């Protein structure tokens, strides 16, 4: 998956969460859960975009780890919303699946960057010998 495709996918996730939040009940619980969910889902896309402009590998890893936390938090709010009966499974199911897939993608991204970064200098030193 390209950087551009991930950018579109994280934005689409945020937009779909916003649309789902229109179905929360108009009460204190609905407003609070919608607010939390919209913020965490928005943070997925916003932090991913920030990561694409990272100044170093360490900065990139840090920002992607924030994306992972926010996607996982979004999954939590979606699960709570469904289990509390505030949103139906038909609205939460696909979003929970997408949040989980985004977590998996970004965890794999961090592992790849860490492995490349860890093995890069060692491989250079070995090739000098």
Residues of the chain with pLDDT under 50: 123-129
Domains belonging to the chain, first-starting first, are 3-118 (1.20.1440.60)
Instruction: Give the pLDDT of residue 104.
Output: 98
For residue range 30-60, list pLDDT tens digits in order.
999 999 999 999 999 999 999 999 999 999 9
User: Exposed (0-12), middle (13-18) or buried (19+): which is 18, by Cβ within 10 Å?
Assistant: middle
Instruction: Give the pLDDT of residue 128.
Output: 43
Instruction: Give the pLDDT of residue 121.
Output: 54
Write down the H helix ranges in the chain.
Answer: 3-21, 28-51, 57-83, 89-128
pTM value? 0.89
């Amino acid at each position: 998956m390209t950087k551009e495709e991930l950018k579109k996918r994280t934005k689409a996730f945020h937009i779909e969460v916003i649309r789902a939040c229109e179905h929360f009940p108009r009460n204190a619980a609905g407003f609070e859960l919608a607010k939390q969910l919209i913020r965490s889902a928005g943070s997925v896309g916003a932090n991913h975009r920030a990561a694409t402009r990272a100044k170093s590998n360490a900065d990139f890893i840090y920002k992607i780890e924030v994306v992972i936390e926010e996607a996982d938090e979004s999954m939590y709010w979606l699960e709570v919303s469904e289990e509390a009966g505030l949103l139906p499974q038909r609205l939460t199911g696909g979003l929970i699946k997408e949040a989980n897939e985004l977590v998996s993608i970004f965890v794999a991204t961090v592992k790849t960057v860490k492995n490349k970064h860890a093995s890069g200098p060692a491989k250079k030193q070995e090739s000098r010998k």
